[in-house]
Structure 1
């Protein structure tokens, strides 16, 4: 099927021009002025922006955690992503202790196949690092899983030792992979949690008060040192604290291959949300937690100066009524996570381009191009060019979106941005040339999403 998009304002991380696009068999075949090719479908994009499809490299669909499972699976989660202008996600498969990473890969493929409506890849969470795990890393890279996540948090569940992190970093450097780190000092946090509970502090706000920014900064500093010794790149997920950003900035200033993402919740929400009436603060229980208001300006600075390269979501929703309530009398039992895969692009466009924080090019870079480059998808994804997949967002800069749990498409009973209006609206979304969103109507089909075999890590 051929599609012709006419009169569009095309914006990539480096380009800004007006032209027509011809799409054939899911790929961009031609870009030019006044194209006259025959097409099965013609769209007039006059007055609209044509952007590369969003790439969210941090989602948790159908993930078991804290005695329950995240409420979006690969069907509902990828549908919500599409409505939000995201056409590619990279989710996390989990290697359980005592089980192989190969087994985890097959399990997560089974979760996604037949359900995902947009293209997807996997990072592999390593819950332990053994000789068998190190061998599995090579096996997975050969199959296009070229990034691995490790934790300095959650003792007894995900946390691994410094020696294990170091071995994984060494192995990643050998095989062209990238280690992604959840950096918080889990041992200290566990002590603070037990001390808080012993004093009868059970409210949701104590989730934040027992995970101080210094715990994130210390772990970030430690992992950067391990990566330097291993001569390997490292990527920090969901960076939330100015002290942790300072560690990343110093390492990058020295020329070390250190990369990091932040998330919309750390840019738009803050600690005061935990003080909402009753148990409502549980909506915002995530790790790392929301920080006090002075952190966000530093994160915006990091994005502007490229010390932070990516904005992803850490989308990991749990419903208030059935799931968050598990921690009603003990904050440490509240499932960690919040929704965000649908709201990311609109929130960021409104706060960056509309408020002159950054250019359209930079907006595209942090939401699509940089994640594509860092995680081995560029130039198939993350840009608009001849030969690239026709993953496109047709965006109305004069439209607006009202965010509410009543109207969003994420399978969760609250929205962290309830009542917020963002300037700019997603009109059409194309995934490999197929129109899957058309002015609020959904035409994607479960199972049409393809597993992405990603390239080896190459420093962007």
Structure 2
């Protein structure tokens, strides 16, 4: 066996099922050996006292996504993926958005143009279907799935994205036939429109009322409806960014009947509540926390933690959707139109860099979940669910050498000044974190260490994916 390019020495290696102290060798970007002691490497990293984990896979991020209303997304591929590797991630999965009237194939091609040569970590695209024409359903979508775009997202709300029930069923039917995986944003559009109208009639327009308009009832109803459609068609689905107990119960009901329903939750549902949207005495600072679904209450947080432990949730993603708060030329959340009503506040918060530290600190460091469960939720399960395992998501012979070293004892607050993303704020400002990634290795090469980028240029690759298994 030829000498390895790199040995990571003496760290505590942890996968979704095992934990042990060993050396790990890398050659030509792949893991080639794991043993008690390995000599002969050209480069050695001393990992004594550190955790050696598979690189994080953030399976739900929005980067360089056109908004159509003048609002500007605060991260392009360069800043978004730089922020990702700073937070311990080695793969991200953003969305190629089809605008209504646009060819789906053209949308994917245009999105590749934005990513070309800009990605500091590996990337793979989901698609967003907003216009399921006969051309899209009969030709473009099946061809793209066969080309390795094996997952796509549909929306049950938002005026410019919502699909009606007939369209959802048609899209689900194509997914079943082509073995694609459907991600569902489950919120009831008509219920939200009704609540928004009622709140505005009462003069309740501050950002906080976004949380009331996007009530958990609307999320529960849409989750149930999405599951019913999936059951009718017999297709697996992923309910994304689940916020609380009510939609969780629908997912648990489905699983008790053997339905293939997967579930995702996010940092905002364990680290924030709707009270954050009040800002300082119901002022516009609350807009910094506006996302959909919104954070709920402490009972919802309790339910989410239980779901993270018991397997209700398969993956933990950021739903990174970054906007400026101020923004030049009124392009941020704090723009004149948004100040007239919560319904115009850009929906989304940044979180790709803080996802892993928040779950590690609140989960592993506080004893709510095990380290192995942390790895499963943030790396192994996303790799399995979205057709990248075992190339990604684990530390095993032959896997990509995508590795993150963690200092489980490092304590520091989250600060906007320390982050590498594009937006001008973080909703987690001041949150105390115990346990931080200290080195991110992509394909055997260190890209981030000691708080700074170390790679000279973006080296991330685009990943064509296989099909997901029946279960993870």
Written as runs of structure 1 = structure 2, the 5 A alignment for 1:8-47 is 8-36=11-39, 38-47=40-49
Give the whole-Å Cα distance in 2 for the aligned partners of 1:191 and 1:398. 48
Q: 1-side partners of 2:80 and 2:456: how far apart? A: 13
Residue 297 of structure 2 is aligned to residue 297 of structure 1: no
Alignment of 1:438 onto 2:466: no
Q: Could you tell me which residue of structure 1 aligns to residue 206 of structure 2? A: 203
- 8 Å CA contact 2:287–2:333 kept in 1: the answer is yes
Show the 5 A alignment for 1:305-384. Answer: 305-322=310-327, 323-326=332-335, 327-384=338-395
Question: Retained in 2: the 8 A contact 1:274–1:284?
Answer: yes
Distance 2:432 2:225 in 1: 40
* Residues 402-413 of structure 1: pairs in structure 2 closer than 5 A: 402-413=413-424
Deviations 1:249-294 (A, max 9, x none): 1101111100010000011100110112121100011111111221
Q: After superposition, what is the alpha-carbon deviation per residue over 1:121-158, rounded to whole angstroms, capped at 9, x for unaligned?
A: 11100002122111212111122110010011012x00
How far does residue 329 in structure 1 lie from its aligned partner after superposition? 2.1
Deviations 1:347-402 (A, max 9, x none): 11111111111111001000111111000111000000000000000111111232
- 1:114 shift after superposition: 1.2
Determine the C-alpha separation between the residues in 2 that align with 1:116 and 1:334.
29
CA distance in structure 2 between the aligned counterparts of 1:446 and 1:279, rounded to whole angstroms: 39
Corresponding residue SS for 1:17: strand
Match of 1:389 in 2: 400
Indicate conservation of the 8 Å contact 1:79/1:444, yes or no: no
For residues 264 and 11 of structure 1, the distance between their equivalents in structure 2, rounded to whole angstroms, comes to 22
Q: Distance in 1 between matches of 2:293 and 2:198?
A: 19
Q: Which residue in 1 is equivalent to 2:130?
A: 127
Matches within 5 A, 1:233-312: 233-277=236-280, 278-312=283-317
SS in 2 for 1:68: coil
TM-score with structure 1 setting the length = 0.98
In the alignment, is residue 456 of structure 1 matched against residue 467 of structure 2? yes
Residue segments in structure 1 that go unaligned for 5+ positions in a row = none
1:445 deviates by: 4.7
- TM alignment of 1:212-251, pairs within 5 A: 212-251=215-254
After the TM superposition, which of the residue ranges 293-302 and 51-60 deviates more from structure 2? 293-302
Match of 1:105 in 2: 108
Query: Which one of the candidate residues 81, 84, 109 is aligned to 2:84?
Result: 81
Q: Which residue of 2 aligns with 1:136?
A: 140
For residue 401 of structure 1, the aligned residue among 406, 412, 422 is: 412
Q: Distance in 1 between matches of 2:169 and 2:300?
A: 29
Per the alignment, residue 153 of structure 1 pairs with 157
Q: CA deviation at 1:412?
A: 1.3
Give per-residue Cα distances to partners, 1:57-115, cap 9 Å, x unaligned.
10001112243121011100100110100110000111111111100110111111111
Q: Is the 8 A contact 2:318 2:351 kept in 1?
A: yes
Q: Determine the C-alpha separation between the residues in 2 that align with 1:275 and 1:96.
A: 33
Q: Are the aligned partners of 1:426 and 1:439 in contact in 2 as well (CA < 8 Å)?
A: no
1:205 and 1:274 in contact (8 A); partners too: yes
Aligned residues: 458
Give yes or no for contact 2:308–2:369 (8 Å, CA) kept in 1. Answer: no
* 3-state SS in 2 of match to 1:77: helix
1:199 CA drift (Å): 2.5
Is the counterpart of residue 428 in structure 1 residue 439 in structure 2?
Answer: yes
Distance 1:52 1:447, change over 3 A: same
Between stretches 344-353 and 218-227, larger displacement belongs to 344-353
Q: Please give the alpha-carbon distance, in whole angstroms, between the structure 2 residues aligned to 1:80 and 1:44.
A: 25
RMSD value, Cα: 1.2
State the partner residue of 1:58: 60
Q: Deviations over 1:274-331 (max 9, x none)?
A: 1121211000111111112211111111111111111101101111112011212221
SS in 1 for 2:93: strand
* Alpha carbons 1:315, 1:340 under 8 Å: kept: yes
The whole-number CA distance in structure 1 between the counterparts of 2:378 and 2:436 is 16
